[in-house]
Amino acid sequence: MIYDSIIIGAGPAGITAAVYAARKGMKIAVLSKNIGGQVTRTSIVENYTGYQEISGIELAEKFNDHLKEFNFKFKKTEVQNIEKRDDIFIIKTSLEKFQSRSLIMATGAMPRELNIPGEKEYKNKGVTYCATCDAPLFHDKEVAVIGGGNSALEASLQLTKIAKKIYIINNTSTFTGDKILSDKLEKNKKVKIFHNSETSKISGDRFVQELEFSLNKKIKKIAVQGVFIEIGFIPNTKLVENFIKLNSKNEIEVNLNQNSSDSGIFAAGDCTNIPYKQIVIAAGSGATAALSAFEYLTKSKN
Amino acid sequence: MNVIVYTTPTCPYCHMAMDFLEKNNILFEEIDISKDDEIATDLIKRSGHIGVPIIEIDNRFVAGFDEEKIKALLYL
Query: Which residues of chain B does A59 touch, with a Cβ-Cβ cutoff of 8 Å?
Result: none
Please enumerate in sequence order all residues whose Cβ is within 8 A of that of A238, keeping only pairs 6 or more positions apart, or say none.
none
**Structural contact between residues B61 and B54, judged by C-beta atoms closer than 8 angstroms:** yes
* Predicted local distance difference test score (pLDDT) of residue B67: 86
What percentage of chain B has pLDDT greater than the value 90? 71
Q: Which long-range contacts (CB under 8 A, 24 or more apart) does B54-58 make?
A: B54/B5, B54/B6, B55/B3, B55/B4, B55/B5, B55/B6, B55/B17, B56/B2, B56/B3, B56/B4, B56/B5, B56/B6, B57/B1, B57/B2, B57/B3, B58/B1, B58/B2
- pLDDT, mean of residues A154-165: 96
Q: What is the bridge-based pairing of β-strands A97-105 and A88-93?
A: antiparallel
Contact A146, A231 (CB under 8 A): yes
Average pLDDT over residues A226-247: 95
CA closest to B48 among chain A residues:
A125
CA distance B68 to chain A (A): 14
At A260 the pLDDT is 98
- pLDDT digits over A97-149, tens only? 999 999 999 999 998 999 999 999 999 999 999 888 899 999 999 999 999 99
Nearest to A137 by CA among B50, B45, B63: B50
pLDDT at A252: 98
Integer Cα distance of A67 and B61 in angstroms: 35
This prediction has a pTM of: 0.78
A9 touches chain B (CB under 8 A): no
Quickly state the pLDDT bin for A302 (edges 50, 70, 90).
low
Check pLDDT > 80 for residue B3. Answer: yes
Whole-number Å distance between alpha carbons of B70 and A39: 25
Pick from B50, B61, B65, B69 the residue to mutate for testing the A interface (most A CBs within 10 Å): B50
- A46: pLDDT strictly greater than 90: no
Asked if B8 and A133 come within 8 Å (Cβ–Cβ), the reply is: yes
B32 Cα to chain A: minimum distance (Å): 10
Residue numbers in B near A130 (CB within 8 A): 11, 13, 51
Closest CA to A98 of A35, A32, A31, A33: A31
Across the interface, do B12 and A34 touch by the CB < 8 Å criterion?
A: yes
Alpha-carbon dihedral sign for residues B46, B51, B52, B55: negative
Q: Tell me, what's the pLDDT at A41?
A: 77
Residues 85-124 of A with CB under 8 A from B: 124
Complex confidence, ipTM: 0.85
Amino acid of residue A219? I
- For chain B, say whether A207 makes contact (Cβ under 8 Å): yes
Question: Rounded to a whole number, what is the distance in Å from the CA of B53 to chain A's nearest CA?
Answer: 8
Phi, psi of A15 (to 5 degrees): -70, -45
CB proximity under 8 Å: B 2-61 to A: 8-16, 33-34, 37, 40, 44, 48-52
pLDDT(A57) > 70: yes
Reported as a pLDDT band with limits 50, 70 and 90, residue A188 is: very high
* Neighbour count for residue B68 (Cβ, 10 Å): 9
Q: Is the pLDDT of residue A203 over 90?
A: yes
CB B44 within 8 A of CB A137: yes
Percentage of chain A modeled with pLDDT above 70? 100
Per CB-CB distance under 8 Å, the chain A contacts of B34 are 136-137
Q: Taking 70 as the threshold, does the pLDDT of residue B23 lie above it? A: yes
Nearest to B50 among A40, A126, A140 (CB): A126
Over 80: is that where the pLDDT of B4 sits? yes
Diameter of chain A by CA atoms?
67
A35 CA: distance to closest CA in chain B (Å) = 10
Contact (CB, 8 A) for A266 and A259? yes
B14 CB neighbours in chain A (<8 A) are: 133
A226 with B33: Cβ contact below 8 A: no
- Chain A CB contacts of B8 below 8 Å: 133-137
Residue A71 pLDDT > 90: no
Report pLDDT digits (tens) over B44-68.
999 999 999 999 999 999 999 888 8
